[in-house]
A and B are shown apart, each in its own frame.
Chain A
Amino acid sequence: SQQGEEDPQALSIQEGENATMNCSYKTSINNLQWYRQNSGRGLVHLILIRSNEREKHSGRLRVTLDTSKKSSSLLITASRAADTASYFCATDSSGSARQLTFGSGTQLTVLP
């Protein structure tokens, strides 16, 4: 079953603009992770935010987590054409190796 659901399913912006993607989930979590997938490739880990954190930054990425609303957002600032990819949230509900559950992703297109 899908724990995380991303919104929007697809997003198209101009280079230089900011891109915001949202993720909602259903059960309590230990942490939430964001991954990126270029077309036809594997996923690449971007950032992890723990359940006791509210905001985290990494370069042009900013992630927020609201556990009361069971939601997270990923902001990419000053987007580039190379940011074009699918972005997935993944939730860890148990802390064990098994429980990393992925959402259905947001397809981001950055137009040059």
Chain B
Amino acid sequence: DGGITQSPKYLFRKEGQNVTLSCEQNLNHDAMYWYRQDPGQGLRLIYYSQIVNDFQKGDIAEGYSVSREKKESFPLTVTSAQKNPTAFYLCASNMGQGHQPQHFGDGTRLSIL
């Protein structure tokens, strides 16, 4: 089955620690996205990538970093500079046009220890 896989489902971060969230897709999609969702809120765009080896900042990129070395993979690193990282993180993909639906993974819930 084609889809998007996010791992881990739950993640805990200690003070001063960087953590990396995995996102893999086998839909052959060109574009991939990372969103942050806080309780009772909508999604806010962190980073997006339209092509391998290229990515752009979204609305809330500070304290986060990404890479896009392979078409299938778009990992997100939450750095120690992100002072309020507790949230639900969602990865999505599509063929890269705004009129195309985005396909989502099942998310990673990040909490502070």
A binds B: yes
Which A residues lie at the B interface, using CB under 8 A? 1-2, 4, 9, 30-31, 33, 40-45, 48, 50, 88, 92-105
Q: Indicate which residue in A1, A50, A88, A102 contacts B99 across the interface (CB closer than 8 Å).
A: A50
- A9, A45, A98, A99 pick with most chain B CB within 10 angstroms: A98
A100 engages B98 (CB within 8 Å) = yes
Q: How many A-B residue pairs have CB under 8 A?
A: 73
Q: Indicate which residue in A40, A42, A93, A104 contacts B42 across the interface (CB closer than 8 Å).
A: A104
Given contacts A40-B109, A97-B94, 7 further A-B contacts (CB under 8 A): A9-B40, A42-B4, A42-B106, A50-B99, A95-B99, A105-B40, A105-B42
Measured as residues with beta carbon below 8 angstroms from the partner, the interface class of chain B is: 20 to 34
Q: Indicate which residue in B31, B42, B106 contacts A88 across the interface (CB closer than 8 Å).
A: B42
- A2, A45, A100, A102 pick with most chain B CB within 10 angstroms: A100
A interface, over-half SS: loop
- What are 15 A-B pairs with beta-carbon distances under 8 A? A40-B107, A42-B4, A42-B6, A42-B92, A42-B106, A43-B90, A88-B42, A93-B98, A95-B97, A95-B99, A97-B50, A98-B48, A100-B98, A102-B44, A105-B42
A92 engages B101 (CB within 8 Å) = no
B99 engages A42 (CB within 8 Å) = no
Given A42-B90, A97-B96, A98-B56, do A104 and B101 touch, yes or no (CB 8 Å)?
no
Give chain B interface residues in 49-100, CB to chain A under 8 Å. 50, 56, 58-59, 90, 92, 94, 96-99
The residue on A at minimum CB distance from B58 is: A98
Q: Indicate which residue in A41, A50, A97, A105 contacts B97 across the interface (CB closer than 8 Å).
A: A97
**Cα(A1)–Cα(B58), bound, Å:** 11
B107 engages A41 (CB within 8 Å) = yes
Q: B13: CB under 8 A from chain A?
A: no
Q: Within 8 Å CB of B96, what residues of A?
A: 97
A41 engages B56 (CB within 8 Å) = no
The residue on A at minimum CB distance from B57 is: A98
**Cα(A31)–Cα(B96), bound, Å:** 15
